Chains A and B, each alone.
Chain A
Amino acid sequence: MVAIVDYGVGNLFSLRSSFAAVGAEALVTGDRETIAGADRIVLPGVGAFQDAAEKLRARKLDAFLKELASSGKPLLGICLGMQLLFDKSFEYGEHAGLGLLRGEVVPLSERVPAELKIPHMGWNPLSFTGGRHPLFKYVKEGECMYFVHSFCAEKCEESVIATAEYGCAVTAAAAKKNVMGCQFHPEKSGDAGLRILQAFCEMEEEKTC
């Protein structure tokens, strides 16, 4: 079972439907016991970083998710959910993230040339970094994914697994062991996106010693 973490941000209807489309049972839940009982966890998110981080904290899900991540259970952050996995964000101030991945989140406007539009919205092809990550087991390099974001992760060289070209190499996906994140929306990236979710659903738990 996939637990889609419900912490009061955004609508999770499409995300749940996309897991159903790849034949996975998915539950939208904020209940810690249910999340702990799941085989894998998805951390979604839209909106502002600070608001989302505070909501996670208010529901005592921040420490809980960190604990679960260290148990080796596959965890996938999507869009803002991916950004929350990093150490911190500079979205309107400076805010702490979960610190599961090294790196920080910065405004795209400070990274891309002025003639490019913000948000980075639309379909952009992936370039793999350092080989093909298991998350991309069923997609080819160059397949397009759907992005909508105004902030991006950087200083994350140790975990970046894919980038998208938008005036610079924008971090499109990152992973460290069982903790993974994608900046794009696999649940909105057509068949290619569903194949990523399929690969995620096939992942085994990391063995922890």
Chain B
Amino acid sequence: MITKRIIPCLDVKDGKVVKGVNFTGLRDISSPVGLAEFYSRSGADELVFYDITASSDGRKIFTDILRETARNVFIPLTVGGGIESVADFENVLCCGADKVSVNSGAVRNPSLVSEAAKLYGDQCVVLSVDVKRVNGVFRVFAKGGREDTGMEAVEWIRRCVGNGAGEVVVNSIDTDGVRKGFDLEMLEAVCAAVRVPVIASGGAGCIDDFITLFKTVKGVDAGLAASIFHFGEVDIGELKKRMAEEGIPARIQEENNHGLR
């Protein structure tokens, strides 16, 4: 049976992880490569790297980091942030990304999803959507959640999946940063509308929030979070153990007892 995935998200700026990182036992706590390796050892099922750099120098540093991560971390790697064109896909894929997530780039140019899906396959194209309720309606926000596009979110997601998006990350602006749990109502609505994997993002504050998510919204495939993992408030190993105890399928890493590697 397929397991529910746990995905830490790293925002990378000028070569460093932002959103304060606070780990004991990690020497360079802001090093994306070091943090990625740490998460992989902890049992993360996948990693998301967001490039939040604006400058072209920063871009170069980001792809160098990506290459270094792919050389050392052997779990799926999704890359997002500033993906505007097929050339941007190519740029991160050749540095070791497995999937590429598009957000504002798809809003500005909806054919980006279909063009990329045709070239790299549906499984490679992740639609990331920032959603916020406006007068009781789910609306798509662009530019890092600052701009209301006026589009209805579920319809937008359905359309992009129809164009070839193979996975959807739903980030609820309403619950993001509040740490009172995922936006179950919003996720339920999205899961009912599409038949591709759905990743929940925004609102996780503790282990119980993940348990509630997977028990309530059966269609959700993965839970994504950043700071609670970075601050060490939620340990991925413990989270996985709790999931297994609660009867939620989870990948528990075997101890490497073969003397290999």
Residues of chain A having any CB pair with chain B under 8 Å: 11, 13-14, 17-18, 20-22, 46-48, 117-125, 138-140, 143-144, 146-150, 164-166, 187-195, 198
Contacts and interface: CB of A to CB of B under 8 A. Distances in A.
Given A13-B95, A119-B166, A188-B75, A124 B123 contact: no
10 smallest beta-carbon distances between A and B, as pairs: A144-B251, A123-B251, A17-B71, A123-B3, A148-B123, A13-B96, A138-B258, A124-B2, A122-B2, A165-B1
B74 A18 contact: yes
15 contacts: A11-B96, A14-B74, A17-B71, A17-B96, A21-B261, A47-B121, A121-B197, A122-B45, A122-B197, A148-B76, A165-B1, A166-B2, A191-B256, A194-B260, A198-B260
B121 A11 contact: no
Given A21-B74, A166-B2, A188-B75, A121 B95 contact: no
A138 B259 CA distance: 10
B40 to A, nearest CB: 7
Interface residues of B, number: 37
B108 to A, nearest CB: 26
Contact of A194 (B70, B122, B166, B261): B261
Contacts of B235: none
B197 A117 contact: yes
Contacts of A47: 120-121
Contacts of B93: 11
Given A121-B167, A165-B1, A195-B258, 5 more contacts: A21-B261, A122-B5, A125-B251, A146-B75, A188-B76
A13 to B, nearest CB: 5
Contacts, number: 112
Contacts of B245: none
A20 B194 CA distance: 39
Contacts of A188: 74-76, 98
Nearest to B3: A123
Contact of A123 (B5, B40, B121): B5
Contacts of B95: 13
Interface string B96-110: 101000000000000
Nearest to A124: B2
A120 B2 contact: yes
Nearest to A146: B76
B67 interface: yes
B253 interface: yes
A70 to B, nearest CB: 31
A195 B260 contact: yes
Nearest to A80: B121
A96 B40 CA distance: 39
